[in-house]
Amino acid sequence: MRICVAGAYGAFGRKHLEALAAIEDVEVTAVMGPTREKIEALAAERGIGFSATRLEDCLARDDVDAVILATPTQQHAAQAIACMEAGKHVLVEIPMADSLADSIAVVEKQKECGLVAMAGQVRRFNPSHQWIHNRIRAGELKVQQMDVQTYFFRRTNTNAKGEPRSWTDHLLWHHACHTVDLFQYQTGEQVEHAFGLQGPIHPDLGIAMDMSIGMKTGSGAICTLSLSFNNDGPFGTFFRYICDNGTYIARYDDLYDGYERPVDLSGVAVSNNGIELIDREFISAIREGREPNGAVGQVLGAMETLDRIERSLV
C-alpha cells in the first residue's frame, strides 16, 4: 500500500507518519507540506522519495494508492473530493468538513466513486473507548450519561506543537465533533435534542473561546460537553461514562473506573496508539474492499448534529 500524507509537516501529519511506520507492507511514497524547504527536509529525514507543496502534484503520481489528509480544516472537504476524483482512497482528519453542506458533498462523492473514504474519528479506535463499545455491544453496559471536558490554552493561534498556525481552529466543528460522533456511536442512536451556548468571540481569532453543549437521544441518554481554549492547565479531552453498570473515565488511550482504578486494556487492540489503529482500519478496508468503521457516510449523522447545535448557539 503506497500512501501520501498531506499536511505531513504538522503535528498530526507527523503522528500519521509514525503510525504508518508500524504497519506492515505500507510505504509512504509522497508527502505534501506548506513550504518547499520544510517538506523537503521532512522527506529527506524520513527517506520519502517525493515531496510537494501542492496536493495535485501528489495525486498525479502512479505510486500513490491512498491519501491521508492532515491539512487545515477549511481545506478538508475540497481536498477529499479531489482525492476521490483522482481515483485515490482517502482518510481525512477530523472533521471531514466544517459545514453540513460540505460534509454531504464528500459523502455524495464517495457514493459516486465507490472508493474508501474515511473520517478521522479516532475516538472510535482508542482502546479505552473500544473497551466500552465492546461491552455495550455485548449487552453488559448501557450509557446513561456522558460528561466530557475538552480543554486547551490557545489564546494565540498555535498548533499542538505550540507553533504558529496558518488557519484558525474551531471548538464546535473540530473538537466537539469528536464527542458528538462518539456519543452517537456508543449509544447507537442519533441525537434528537441538542443545544449550544458560547462565550464571547475572540477579537483577533474571530472564534468563541468557550462553549457548552447538551445532547439527548430518543432513549434518554444525555451528554454534557464543556469546551475551552481558555483553560490554563493540562490539556486534552476527558470522558466520564456513567452507565447502568458502573462508571468509567477515559483519558486518551487509558481507562479507569469511577474510583480511579485502572482498567486492563490488554487484548483490546493490536496497539495502544489510536492513530495507528485508525490508519490500520483505513488500510485494511482498502485491501479487503469493504466499508471502514468511520466511513464518511457513517459520520454524516454527527455532522447533522453539529449543524443543529451551530444553529442553536446563543
Which helix (H) or strand (E) covers residue 277, if one does? helix 274-288
Which residues share a beta bridge with 5? 31, 68
Mean pLDDT (the chain, rounded):
95
CA distance 80 to 173: 17
Distance of CA 221 to the CA centre of its chain: 23
Overall average pLDDT of the 187-192 stretch:
98
Note the pLDDT of residue 163: 67
Distance of CA 106 to the CA centre of its chain: 15
* Sheet-wide strand order for 254-257: 191-198, 210-217, 222-228, 143-151, 236-243, 246-251, 254-257
Overall average pLDDT of the 184-191 stretch:
98
Note the pLDDT of residue 88: 98
Note the pLDDT of residue 36: 95
The pLDDT tens digits for 61-98 are 999 999 999 999 999 999 999 999 999 999 999 999 99
Paired sense of beta strands 89-93 and 66-69, if any: parallel
CA angle 273, 15, 254 (to 5 degrees): 25
What percent of the chain has a predicted confidence (pLDDT) above 70? 96
Note the pLDDT of residue 113: 98
The amino acid at residue 299 is V
What percent of the chain has a predicted confidence (pLDDT) above 90? 89
CA distance 114 to 143: 34
Q: What phi, psi does 256 have (nearest 5°)?
A: -135, 155
The pLDDT tens digits for 139-181 are 999 999 999 999 988 777 666 666 666 666 789 999 999 999 9
Q: Where are the beta strands (DSSP E) in 169-261?
A: 191-198, 210-217, 222-228, 236-243, 246-251, 254-257
Q: Which residue has the cell 449543524?
A: 307
Give the list of residues 6+ apart from residue 176 with CB closer than 8 angstroms, or none: 150, 211, 213, 225, 227, 306, 309
Q: What is the CA radius of gyration of the chain?
A: 19
Domain at 2-122+275-293, CATH class: alpha beta
Domain at 123-269+301-312, CATH class: alpha beta
Read off the pTM. Answer: 0.94
Note the pLDDT of residue 200: 93
Overall average pLDDT of the 127-144 stretch:
97
CA distance 291 to 302: 18
Band of pLDDT at residue 20, cut at 50, 70 and 90: very high
Overall average pLDDT of the 254-281 stretch:
96
Band of pLDDT at residue 234, cut at 50, 70 and 90: confident
CA distance 304 to 266: 35
Overall average pLDDT of the 97-101 stretch:
97
Note the pLDDT of residue 42: 97
Q: Show me where the domains of the chain are located.
A: 2-122+275-293, 123-269+301-312
Which residues share a beta bridge with 210? 228
